Amino acid sequence: ELKVEQNPLFLSMQEGKNYTIYCNYSTTSDRLYWYRQDPGKSLESLFVLLSNGAVKQEGRLMASLDTKARLSTLHITAAVHDLSATYFCAVNLNFGNEKLTFGTGTRLTIIP
Amino acid sequence: DSGVTQTPKHLITATGQRVTLRCSPRSGDLSVYWYQQSLDQGLQFLIQYYNGEERAKGNILERFSAQQFPDLHSELNLSSLELGDSALYFCASSDGTGANSGNTIYFGEGSWLTVV
């Protein structure tokens, strides 16, 4: 059974600092998704990573995928308050469908 | 706005009752997914339909059922409701062909279900 683990679960950081969220998964896959969720809101797609070594950047967020290590990272550069949210990674394992197995989420709070 | 529309946004119902959640996918998307989000279980995949046919099944209870209609909208039916069914139910869609296409999967705003 595919397991997806994120760490840390909770993260408080000061504005302007850099930090990384880690996503580990238990079974080989080369399709990994990152989502953002504000409290009680929908899941907003951030990145779709489709191959080993894939790196994508959008603003202060950068995501990477190492399929050999079964690890994805979401790096936050010079954090700002607007980035406060819960971040989820999700892995797709199965050919023929796009069922996502989600991690537990990382609740990020940016402190001014 | 992801383009995925869900109704109702909020629903309060009693134990033992039955409810139907509705989802309209993004224009042109053939795949519809249902997820449940709760505090204790996190985000759980329930079921996927592709162009009217069931494609994948996850942790969906026998009391729950879903279907996708010819116009591609989908409904999730929850029956004999229990307190533990209280959760946020998301519908998502993609234009995935089902062939490992790696398309973005877009989520709706969700339907908040409270069972009392």
Which of B45, B53, B103, B106 to mutate to test binding with chain A, by most A CBs within 10 Å of its CB? B45
> CB A40 to CB B88 under 8 A?
yes
Q: Which pLDDT belongs to residue B44?
A: 95
pLDDT tens digits, B2-25: 899 999 999 999 999 999 999 999
- With bands split at pLDDT 50, 70 and 90, how would you rate the model's confidence at A95? low
pLDDT tens digits, B54-71: 988 998 999 999 999 999
Q: Which pLDDT belongs to residue A50?
A: 85
| For residue B99, pLDDT beyond 60 | no
The candidate with the shortest Cα–Cα distance to B85, out of B24, B29, B30, B44, is: B44
Q: What percent of chain A stands above pLDDT 70?
A: 96
Q: Tell me the mean pLDDT in the region A12-32.
A: 92
Give Cβ neighbours of residue B33 (< 8 Å, ≥ 6 apart). Answer: A98, A99, A100, B45, B46, B47, B48, B49, B91, B92, B93, B94, B105
| For residue B102, pLDDT beyond 70 | no
> CB B107 to CB A33 under 8 A?
no
Mean confidence (pLDDT) of chain B: 92
> CB B103 to CB A98 under 8 A?
yes
CA distance to partner chain A, nearest, from residue B70 (Å): 19
Q: Which pLDDT belongs to residue A40?
A: 87
Q: Which pLDDT belongs to residue B96?
A: 67
